[in-house]
Amino acid sequence: MPTANRQLIVIADDITGAAEIAGIGWRLGLRVNLVMYRGEETIAWPEPCDLLVFATDTRSMTEAKAVEETVRIAHAVKNMGCTHIFKKTDSALRGHIAIELRTLMEITGITCALLLPQNPSRGRTIEKGTYYIDKTPLNKTTFANDPEFPATTAKVSKLLFHKHSGTILTPRKRMRKRGLYIAEAATIEDVKRRAGEIKEGILAAGGADFFTACLTAGGYTANAFTPFEGIRSKHALIVLGSTNSHSPADFSYVRRQDIVQYNIPAVLFYREAPQQWIEKMKRAYVRHDSLGLYINHPLRKGRDIALRLREEMGKVVVALLSERIPQELIIEGGATAFSILKRTAWSIFSVECEVIPGVIRMTPVRNPDITITLKPGSYPWGNLFK
């Protein structure tokens, strides 16, 4: 892992994960750019920075498509001359983690990778080969109902290595020169010890706690920042893309600003959004200069349904943006955020602040008049809607 003043590349498998990493870099005083990666073979540097975070959408792709995308971005990053790479993965082991890591290793020539996805700071641990959230096995949590990657077991070897080989490192074991390893860790101190083992020639991968530990082990220290105290503008477009989201009416900010909210029609799970409903949303948005959209229907499982829903949500929100650009665009859910932002002209973002870990506010370089807030579905909002 690089020490202070040496540039670092992060490749994330979804945009909220990328934003979370960018927020950590911002917290530690780095110059950070976040780039929406859209399959380009060559990538131009947006501007000089210490940390360049690429947001892909490989978690939402099929395994074959995820590998193709990983091949493209790995070659692009290699052609940029970058050797210091961190691979951001889902903390609950959703996605095509093992095959993406092996593909990245093959193209970059790295022979050893250490994966530490769990975040003990959020009660997410791996102990004796089992993944827990607040001491509950993963398959007994809400992740069992994930529409794309339901946790059918809490055994890490079955979750991660059912198709691809790898080794689980217990606390006393160390890595060898070759192989893909996933480390057990139940405390932040465990994570820090593993971060201290990252040297040249080892690909570090995993979650926010591990990334933070790797940076602090390299000499970065947190700066003091004024805590974010809530949105002040009433010109907001709020999109809660996680299934079974609470109504925005639960937020005091929404009630105070009298922002109108709509539960998206259940038909979007199965077919295109009705044009009549889209036009109704446009009229409401223009009339009120703000709008809240959320999903609160009985859960539908399956990749095809999840893909259609996020694509339709993306089309609807971009139709609203074509009517008027709000001062605040707030999006919950990584796949939904990527579906929306890939349809815009915005591709490079600068971090404005970190509300709380995982909830990031950023502005497009081309349009600094709008602030975009991203939040993973399972994270709290902090003071955003205070």
Tell whether 150 and 240 lie within a shared domain: no
Q: Which residues constitute the domain of residue 178? A: 8-217
User: What type of residue is 130?
Assistant: T
Q: Residue 223 falls within a domain, yes or no? A: no
Same domain, 268 and 200: no
Check whether residue 243 and residue 199 sit in a common domain.
no
Residue 384 inside a domain? The answer is: no
Answer yes or no: are the C-beta atoms of 117 and 80 closer than 8 Å. Answer: no
In this structure, are 43 and 155 located in the same domain?
yes
Residue 83 domain-assigned (yes or no): yes
Let me know whether 155 and 191 are in one domain: yes
How would you write the pLDDT of the chain (386 residues) with one tens digit per residue? 444 445 789 999 999 999 999 999 999 989 888 998 877 665 665 667 889 999 999 998 999 999 999 999 999 888 877 768 999 999 999 999 999 999 999 999 999 999 999 999 999 999 999 999 999 999 999 999 888 899 999 999 999 887 677 889 998 888 888 899 999 999 999 999 999 999 888 999 999 999 999 999 888 888 878 888 899 899 999 999 876 566 788 889 999 999 999 998 888 888 888 999 999 999 999 999 999 999 887 666 677 777 888 888 999 999 999 999 999 999 998 889 999 999 998 988 988 899 999 999 999 988 999 999 999 887 889 999 98
- Is 262 part of any domain? yes
Q: How many residues does the chain have?
A: 386
State pTM to two decimals.
0.88
Show which of 217, 251, 282 is a domain's final residue: 217
| Residue 1 falls inside a structural domain | no
Residues 59 and 191 both lie in one domain:
yes
Same domain, 187 and 48: yes
Of 162, 189, 217, the position where a domain reaches its end is 217
269 in a structural domain: yes
Total structural domains in the chain?
2
* 273 within some domain: yes
Task: Looking at the structure, tell me whether residues 213 and 241 fall in a common domain.
Answer: no
Q: Are residues 163 and 291 in the same domain?
A: no
Q: Each residue of 326-350: pLDDT tens digit?
A: 999 999 988 899 999 999 989 889 8
Q: In the 3-class helix/strand/coil scheme, how is the chain assigned residue by residue?
A: CCCCCCCEEEEECCHHHHHHHHHHHHHCCCCEEEEECCCCCCCCCCCCCCEEEEECCHHHCCHHHHHHHHHHHHHHHHHCCCCCEEEECCCCCCCCHHHHHHHHHHHHCCCEEEEECCCHHHCEEEECCEEEECCEEHHHCHHHHCCCCCCCCCEHHHHHCCCCCCEEECCCCCCCCCEEEEECECCHHHHHHHHCCCCCCEEEEECHHHHHHHHHHCCCCCCCCCCCCCCCCCCEEEEECCCCCCCHHHCHHHHHHCCCEEECCHHHHCCCCCHHHHHHHHHHHHHHCCEEEECCCCCCCCHHHHHHHHHHHHHHHHHHHHHCCCCEEEEECHHHHHHHHCCCCCCEEEEEEEEECCEEEEEECCCCCCEEEEECCCCCCCCCCC
Q: CATH number for the domain including 313? A: 3.40.980.20
Per the domain annotation, does 136 fall within a domain? Answer: yes
Q: What is the pLDDT of residue 245?
A: 62
Q: Are residues 204 and 302 in the same domain?
A: no
Domain end marker among 184, 217, 250: 217
Q: Determine the Cα angle at 32 with ends 26 and 36, to 5°.
A: 120
Are 278 and 307 in the same domain? yes
**Same domain for 204 and 257:** no
